[in-house]
Amino acid sequence: MFFLKILSRMLLRLRGKALRSEIKGVNLDEIERLIGHRFKDPLILVQSLKHRSYTHVYEEGDGSSNERLEFLGDSVLNLVVTDYLYLKFPSEKEGKLSQLKSLLVSKKFLSSKAREVGLGNYILLSEAESASGGRHRTSILSDTLEALIGAIYLDGGFGPAKHFLRKCVLKDVNDLIRDEKFVNYKSMLLEYLQGKQGKQPEYSVMSEEGPEHRKVFTVDVSLGRRRLGRGRGESKKEAQQMAAKEALRKLRIF
């Protein structure tokens, strides 16, 4: 039994060396340094980088993309984020923790962290997908990051996956959760009102000011006849976000 284990490790190491020399266009050693995890089986890392456009073109549909690893990584991500928020904010209520979690597992947030790591440079895409801007696309970046999380978990277990998330995704959370470019106040307000009252808020444009190229919109958000908040912005969408933000503050949700 001991001899078989040694032989298995030797074969795995040899396969890893061969694979590292065969994959063209992707520097596996480089990406491992960036993410802080050395894969025992580099094949798992490669798998996590394969977008479906790549397998469709270069593997003629016979190869599998990173979608299964994305599914696994999503579950690991949710567990680590939930554990992190529960311990970091012991006095926060369930509603606030749920809103913070929604932010930290959102595609917009995950894609921003993928960009920080430089993950887009290593994704395996078809030439057409790459030429159309796939390496910078929010959905592809966030999905690949989740697949990478799944790959680290599969290769090394929960500890290394948690370490990667703490190091590359959950750092500076206090600043990030207050960054308005990531916070979707409208979504937060909708989820809260639907959960508590089973109703949806309504947004109304109250005024438009200024010239056509520099308009300022004022928007109210209401629940029935009750006005919850008012916001102003250079677009209707921005004004709605600000109205929802004010409503959440009045409701003591954010």
User: What pLDDT is recorded for position 56?
Assistant: 87
Is 146 part of the annotated catalytic residue set? Answer: yes
Distance CA 36, CA 159 (A): 12
* Number of domains comprising the chain: 2
* Same domain? 163 vs 202: no
What pLDDT digit, counting tens, does each position of 28-87 carry? Answer: 899 999 999 999 999 999 999 999 999 988 876 556 899 999 999 999 999 999 999 999
Residues 193, 146 share a domain: no
User: Is the domain of 169 the same as that of 79?
Assistant: yes
Is 175 a catalytic site residue? Answer: no
**Which of the following is catalytic: 70, 146, 155, 246?**
146
Regarding beta strands 202-209 and 226-233, do their DSSP bridges make them parallel or antiparallel, or are they unpaired?
A: unpaired
Measured distance CA(186)–CA(99) in Å, rounded = 12
- This prediction has a pTM of 0.69
Q: Write out the residue range of the structural domain in which residue 202 sits.
A: 188-250
Read off the CATH number of the domain in which 127 is found. 1.10.1520.10
Tokens of 224: 């029935």
Do 54 and 171 share a domain, yes or no?
A: yes
Q: How many CA atoms lie within 13 A of 17 on its CB side?
A: 5
Beta 226-233 vs 216-223: how paired, if at all? antiparallel
Residue range 74-119, pLDDT digits in tens: 999 999 999 999 998 898 888 778 878 888 898 888 999 999 999 9
In this structure, is residue 141 part of a structural domain? yes
